[in-house]
Chain A
């Protein structure tokens, strides 16, 4: 009985989370421009979407900006993490607090403050300002992912490499980098995700010709009826779903067999409780 109520509850919450998305996807095949009347099945909106210069252009902008900003943020952040790792406690606390600023600060305030800065520095709003802004809010995520990996690393490994005749540079490349690589990769991927998804900060730092995809979506939704947005949502949903499934499957594979069995056993024990 209790299991049943649990299932119903979980089902209801997921219904709430997914119904709007499914309505969007269903509407992307709706021949009528109206969002509420079904008049027939069509692929027209997808065709229109792929001929829409504005959307394709802003998609390209988004990808370029995300890539440039994430690479820069990863470099800057990894170096920073190494520096922070070596700092004394007081300096470290101060630096970490600065790192938390972009995460804690409301996005809109970060956005307008950067806008004020760019206007004061007389930098024209456009690609450059977007990339600068994106690097700024991405770096902390790289640091937060690399720093724990540095802490987990056995420091003696590095010292041993030095003792065995490695130059610091070589030891760094052969010992430290492989150890912290998972953190660097997670930080990089998170940066890309946040950069692609960002609307608020881009909204305040973009120029007339440097629209990113979220900004284009925003201007489309303001026109109230724009079925191409539905088609775009459907495509994005499928892409994200695919990425997530691939990621989960590969993660499951990586898990050693015995560990999985142990986890399953523990979970089963929990099921009885």
Chain B
């Protein structure tokens, strides 16, 4: 194994990834397209009512005969069958899905608008200041995102700090927490560094001489921006957009903490089906599958803009 030429060194890893990544995803697909139904001894599918009636009857007979607990074998058992019902049922949640896509999109666009100028300014700074600024951008990212989101709860509450501050000027109080705006704000706050970092790493490679050349050839600041800097930073824009959009569209904590349960996202729906009150892993898997396919589609669209070979070390 300690041979550099060994191709087999990757075998344990491959086995691992197949067991813990490929099989689980396959399970999602299986669960999404199946459901468990009651059936009788011959394997005929029963409706819930029929199953209930049979079980009632059996219990009566067992009680009459005094059958001990361990000998009571019901004729009704469960069976897993193929169905598209779960996928169709996802349709019912279309409004939630569309609104989470919309909210994630708004958050992504605002992150881009805030992050782009900032990343550009940082990339034109003195070398040492660049390092400092980057550290300042990354520092909040290292705090656990639950704590960061919790911080906004303090600020946005009805008698929170922002409302108190505005109250000094006789404005408000405003209803800020538990609104769609609060959830979007949470997304922007949590994922803004994910936008700034890839943008910066592309922009820092743009040589000042390139910009000077454009200026010498008569381009004004806007033209330089639009015709030189933006085209050269497209790969960064792409990775920034994916790095913000994917976690935003699939989060369930930000909406739970800042949306107050009324502004549900796709993530909340999935969580409800697996660990929440509406326990139904089949429906949950169907929603997960839809989310996964949607995100793969989005990724392939952004990848189409970005011809670079990603094999190296893309980091979301």
Known A-B contacts A36-B161, A267-B130, A270-B208; A107 and B247 likewise in contact (beta carbons under 8 Å): yes
B289 → chain A, closest Cβ, in Å? Answer: 8
Nearest CB on A from B309, distance (A)? 10
Q: Which residue of A lies closest to B19 (CB)?
A: A117
Closest 3 CB pairs of A and B: A83-B10, A80-B13, A20-B151
Contact residues, A86-109 vs B (CB, 8 A): 86-87, 92-93, 95-96, 98-109
Smallest Cβ-Cβ distance to A92: which chain B residue: B311
Contacts of B21 in A (CB 8 A): 98, 101-102, 110, 136
A273 touches B250 (CB 8 A): no
Q: List 16 A-B contacts (CB under 8 A).
A: A16-B189, A17-B192, A17-B193, A20-B151, A20-B155, A36-B160, A83-B6, A112-B285, A116-B24, A116-B31, A144-B315, A145-B313, A173-B2, A213-B144, A229-B147, A264-B128
Q: Is the CB of B154 within 8 A of A106?
A: no
| Complex partner residue of A144 from B192, B292, B313, CB under 8 angstroms | B313
CB distance from A151 to the nearest CB of B (A): 8
In chain B, positions 50-87 with a C-beta closer than 8 Å to chain A are: none
B124 lies within 8 A of A120 (CB)? no
- A11 and B31 CA atoms in complex are apart in Å by 50
Is the beta-carbon distance between B143 and A233 smaller than 8 angstroms?
A: yes
Chain A residues within an 8 Å CB radius of B2? 168-169, 172-173
Size bracket, chain B contacts: 35 or more
Is there a chain A Cβ closer than 8 Å to B22's Cβ?
Answer: yes
Contacting B12 at CB < 8 Å: which of A79, A95, A110, A217? A79
How would residues 22 to 47 of chain A score, 1 for a CB under 8 Å from any chain B CB and 0 otherwise? 01100100000001100000000000
A-B contact count (CB 8 A): 276
Residues of B at under 8 Å CB distance from A? 1-14, 16-25, 27-28, 31, 114, 117-118, 121-122, 124-128, 130-131, 133, 135-140, 142-155, 157, 159-161, 164, 189, 192-193, 208, 211-212, 215, 246-247, 249-253, 257, 267, 270-271, 274-275, 281, 284-285, 288, 291-292, 295-296, 299, 311-316
CB atoms of B3 and A168 under 8 A apart = yes
Q: Which residues of A contact B18 (CB under 8 A)?
A: 98
Contact with B along A249-273 (1 / 0, CB 8 A): 0011000000010011011111101
Contact indicator A93/B250 (Cβ below 8 Å): no
Cβ of A9 and Cβ of B118 under 8 Å apart? yes
A148 and B4 contact, CB distance less than 8 A: no
Contact A147 B313 (CB under 8 A): yes
B299 touches A104 (CB 8 A): yes
- Closest residue on chain B to residue A172 by CB atoms: B2
* Contact A139/B13 with A20-B155, A217-B147 known, Cβ cut-off 8 Å: yes
Q: Is the CB of B118 within 8 A of A264?
A: no
* Pair B10/A112 contact, Cβ less than 8 Å: no
Q: Which of A20, A21, A110 has the most CB of B within 10 A?
A: A20
A197 within 8 A of B: yes
Partner of A117 from B27, B126, B211 at Cβ < 8 Å? B27
CA gap between A99 and B249 in the complex, in Å: 22
Question: In the bound complex, how far is the Cα of B274 from the Cα of A13, in angstroms?
Answer: 38
Contacts of B20 in A (CB 8 A): 114, 117, 132-133, 135-136
B-side contacts of A160, CB under 8 Å: none
Task: Report chain A residues within 8 Å CB of B316.
Answer: 103-104
Q: Find out whether the CB atom of A214 lies under 8 angstroms from the CB atom of B135.
A: no
A120, B26: Cα distance in complex, Å: 12
Q: Within the complex, which residue of A117, A251, A271 is in contact with B24, where a contact is CB–CB below 8 Å? A: A117
B12 touches A113 (CB 8 A): no
Chain B residue nearest to A217 (CB atoms) is B146
6 extra interface residue pairs, beta carbon distance < 8 Å, beyond A116-B285, A117-B24: A9-B118, A21-B143, A105-B295, A148-B313, A218-B146, A221-B149
Nearest A residue to B31 via CB reads A116
CB distance from A135 to the nearest CB of B (A): 7
**Residues of B with C-beta under 8 A to A92:** 311
Contact of B118 with A107 in the complex, beta carbons under 8 Å: no
Chain B residues whose C-beta falls within 8 Å of the C-beta of A139 in the assembled complex: 13, 16-17
With A76-B13, A139-B17, A264-B128 given, is the CB distance from A108 to B267 under 8 Å? yes
Contact A109 B28 (CB under 8 A): yes
C-alpha spacing A171/B6, complex, angstroms:
14
Contact between chains at B148 and A99 (CB < 8 Å): no
- On chain A, the residues within 8 Å of B215 by CB distance are 273
- Is the pair B212, A158 in contact by a Cβ cutoff of 8 Å? no
Which chain B positions have C-beta within 8 A of A176? 4
Chain A neighbourhood of B159, CB < 8 A: 36
